[in-house]
Amino acid sequence: MPYARPQPPVFERVEDERLHRKQRLAAAFRLFGKFGFSEGIAGHITARDPEFTDHFWVNPLGTYFGHIRVSDLLLVNREGEVVKGDAEVNRAAFAIHSQIHEARPDVIAAAHAHSLYGKAWSSLGRLLDPLTQDSCAFYEDHALFDDFTGVVLETSEGQRLAQTLGTNKAIILRNHSILTVGHTVDEAAFWYINLERSCQAQLLAEAAGRPTTIKHETARLTQTQVGSHTSGWFGFQPLYDRIVREEPDLLN
């Protein structure tokens, strides 16, 4: 029987929406830390500010994902200047995320880290195959940036990356890692977790034998069932509840 799936909240006050996005952002960092996605100073998740839409909130450079609180987040303008917060911003975070947010007005959040299986899969220079129901979320909805020129420090390189991402929800950065976007912070974070695990699943399956791929028509149907913006947002809700219960200080 059909059921009414919960929907992302709608806010009347921009202050409430800003706080909500920042709380979700801090929670996403804590989850990334818990899942082992932290790698030194690498990795960043951004959330577009609901009022100053050419600004975004991001993690401070050099702070462990698992320690980030709402009060630690930085607000960065379109020139890369920190306008709220007392720390430095990762130069690569600005070079990549500023261009994604500019190219994709629909994107509220973008997530990128140097997680183990995303890195391993990226070295193959391939898109994922539709091997599982979960990986079908990315069927015909992820891209491959088939070039590696070193650490992304220039906005021109971020522009190239954003152009390759196109209208997709995710991109594999060859010899680098993975990146996901969403219409909410929740969605972008959930797609990252899902994509990382889909990379892991395909690496394991191919190491064990010859995996059977899902047929094109079925994969395309499944993508509409598990790959919508609402599906990504909804998938994050149990994870948010978990991390807030376990680590409530993230809301400070």
Domain ranges in the chain are 14-244
Q: Which fold has domain 14-244?
A: L-fuculose-1-phosphate Aldolase (3.40.225)
pLDDT class of 151 with cuts at 50, 70, 90: confident
In this predicted model, what pLDDT tens digit does every residue of 153-197 receive, in sequence order?
789 999 999 999 999 999 999 999 999 999 999 999 999 999 999
Core vs surface per residue 99-109: b (16+ CB within 10 A) or e: bbbebbeebbb
Exposure on the CB side of residue 62, measured as CA atoms within 13 A: 4
Mean pLDDT of the chain: 96
pTM: 0.96
Helices of type H across 75-154: 91-103, 116-122
> Mean of the pLDDT values across residues 205-219?
98
Q: Give the Cα-Cα-Cα angle 140, 145, 148 (nearest 5 degrees).
A: 160
